[in-house]
Amino acid sequence: MRFRTGSLALLMIVSGAGLAACSSSPTPDAAIKAFVSGWQAHAFGSGAKLVDANGAAVPAATATTELAGFTGDLSTVTPKIDAGRPTITKNDGQVQLTVAYPVTAKVTWTYQTAVPLHLSGKTWQVVWGPKDVQPNLIAGGTMKIAYTEAQRGKILDSTGAAIVESRDVVDVGVEPKLIKNIDDLIDKLKFAFKALEVDVDLSDLKQRVADAKPDAFVNVVTLRSDTYALGRPLIHDLDGTVFNEHTMELAPSRIYAHALLGEVDDVTKETMDKNPGKYHIGDHVGYGGLQQAYEDRLRGTDGVSVVMPGVGQDPDGSPNPSKTLFKVAPVPGQPITVSLDSKAQKAADAAVQAQPKQSAFIAMRISTGQIIAVANGPGATGQDTALEAQVPPGSIFKMVTATNVLESGAATPNTTVNCPATLTVDGFTIHNSESEALGKVPLITDFAKSCNTAFASLYPKLGTNGLANTSKQLGIGGDWSLGVPTFTGSVADDGSNVDRAAAAFGQGKTLVSPVAMVGAVGAVARGEWKPPTLVIDPAPATVAADGTALKPTTVTDLKAMMRAVVTSGTGKTRMAGTPGGPVYAKTGTAQFDSDPEHTHAWFIGYQGDIAFAVLVVNGGFGGVVGAAMARNFLTAMNK
């Protein structure tokens, strides 16, 4: 529980219902109305007739100051106040007030308080005191708002096991007055963190220490308890280091689906400013991925209390305890369930972890369309490349072009399609990788060896908008989502002949993401596109319809062509001997600017019931880099 200053400001609502008395005598109506109005305005005016318990006049300014003290954290909040019918006995009386304080945007505290009245001469006065404001307030007392953060909902995997839950962590910090040599301390911390393979920026630590108070805790990094245990011998006894143990909502490891899951951290001022009244200093908020996308569901509703801190002493001399005036219990957040499979996720994380460049690995169960792994390498710097990348596909898109000509009957795997080293379309020259020329060979060979010129030459056979239509049949560029930001692809093949030829081998204006391509692979393996799914509960409000089924002959032919990539084509070297049964794949090396040496490495395919897509940004050859990562994943999955 923590105390925070309230900052709500609502419209003033005044009710004077029931302020009638005998017409033959002075009535307290005016005094009550002035009191209620002054309270709601947070300032009593000159018309307020206030006296203390002894009958001495209380100046309006004094009462205003005392009101602010009594109401404390609610001093800027305007309550709704309804006055009942006053009861009068000779020169004294009282009026019952029903007070409704909006403590938060969603919680209103309603209570009643009896305000004493006194008739002096012909003037009714309000007998001023703390109990006028709240029956349990005493002199010197004040109202403080305390928030109790709700237990955050968990993110569960496909088995119902918690992925993200409270785990022990250690804040590693330094205390300025304990430091003997700051430069030496920084050097030793750098050595320790490097040994732990933890990336910590210490460039500003010296200045932060200089700016801090001598006994301040200057935070350096928060480590999982197991990581801290490994590094303890290197950092615990350094002059100046101090430590704070607590828990945080974390995944099983620091790399486990990190970009997809997001993280839970202290609320920032920027977040508070964007969401007035929703968050309070010290709250924890989801940032990025699922934690941010499902923030409201996961965070639940904070509990709130209005507390009067202890004032004065009991007769025995002990301090008076705090008193809770109002309390609403927190409502725990609700969990969300995702389709991730722990074994697959760990295998995918391991596959990208050693890749220093921005990379992504995504895997899907073909039979259900459920995404079972979403991994992003350390070079992605928090970006969910697997779901959001918008990059050219290069030669992996030949799978789409092949689908088009097979479906239309314009070609079969045995159709001869020439593969020269270069092909000129309307004055624009298209090149093969390393100037390879296969000559007049069957389409299956062009596909296995990934011949650009052969596939570019197919563009007249694709039909008007044919490639875009086939892409949508495979889910690329379709209207579907996983419940988190997702790029499904963009295909435009209705431009010039050069544009259409470039699109036929995955260049030009075509952009895709790994998740778009893993869905397309699943469509080929299944014979029909099925919308990929990730968030199971809560179920998506709308689900895209399944795609139009491919012809059985198209599916058979495509599988044969994708198998040839591994047995005799560009994927053979890295994929030969992969455990777990036959692998069907397509390599891709996608140029993304005018420099032919700048290429993305792609590798897509499937084995058994698992489809996958690998992307390494500016990674070189897909058949080398991407295929090696896929092999590592499949090897781990088949252990």
Residues 174-221: pLDDT tens digits?
999 999 999 999 999 999 999 998 889 999 999 999 999 999 999 999
Residue 97 in contact with residue 115, Cβ under 8 Å?
A: yes
| C-alpha distances in Å from residue 136, one per residue of 4, 88, 108, 579, 617 | 20, 23, 18, 74, 65
Q: What is the per-residue pLDDT for 68?
A: 97
Alpha-helical regions (H) of 44-198: 60-71, 130-133, 182-195
Can you tell me the distance from the alpha carbon of 623 to that of 573, in angstroms, rounded to the nearest whole number? Answer: 8
What average pLDDT does the segment 307-317 reach? 80
Q: What is the per-residue pLDDT for 3?
A: 35
Reply yes or no on whether the pLDDT at 258 is more than 60: yes
Can you tell me the distance from the alpha carbon of 236 to that of 232, in angstroms, rounded to the nearest whole number? Answer: 5
Residue 606 in contact with residue 523, Cβ under 8 Å?
A: no
Q: What is the length of the chain? A: 639
Q: What are the beta bridge partners of residue 121?
A: none
Can you tell me the distance from the alpha carbon of 612 to that of 362, in angstroms, rounded to the nearest whole number? Answer: 6
Can you tell me the distance from the alpha carbon of 532 to that of 340, in angstroms, rounded to the nearest whole number? Answer: 12
Can you tell me the distance from the alpha carbon of 392 to that of 589, in angstroms, rounded to the nearest whole number? Answer: 9
Residue 447 in contact with residue 564, Cβ under 8 Å?
A: yes
Band (619; pLDDT cuts 50, 70, 90): confident
Per residue in 79-115, pLDDT (tens digit) is 999 999 999 998 999 999 999 999 988 899 999 999 9
Band (24; pLDDT cuts 50, 70, 90): low
Query: Which H helix or E strand runs over 498?
Result: helix 497-504
Q: What is the per-residue pLDDT for 294?
A: 96
- DSSP state letters, 218-237: EEEEEEEHHHHHHHHHHHTT
Per residue in 510-568, pLDDT (tens digit) is 999 999 999 999 999 999 999 999 999 998 888 899 999 999 999 999 999 999 999 99
Can you tell me the distance from the alpha carbon of 184 to that of 192, in angstroms, rounded to the nearest whole number? Answer: 12
Measured over the CA atoms of residue 613, residue 617, residue 618 and residue 624, the dihedral's sign is negative
What is the residue-averaged pLDDT of the chain?
91
CB atoms within 10 A of CB 390: 12
DSSP3 helix / strand / coil % (the chain, rounded to 5): 30, 25, 40
* Domains in the chain: ranges and CATH: 2-144 (3.10.450), 151-255 (3.90.1310.10), 257-300 (no CATH), 345-637 (3.40.710.10)
Q: How far is CA 394 from the centre of its chain?
A: 31
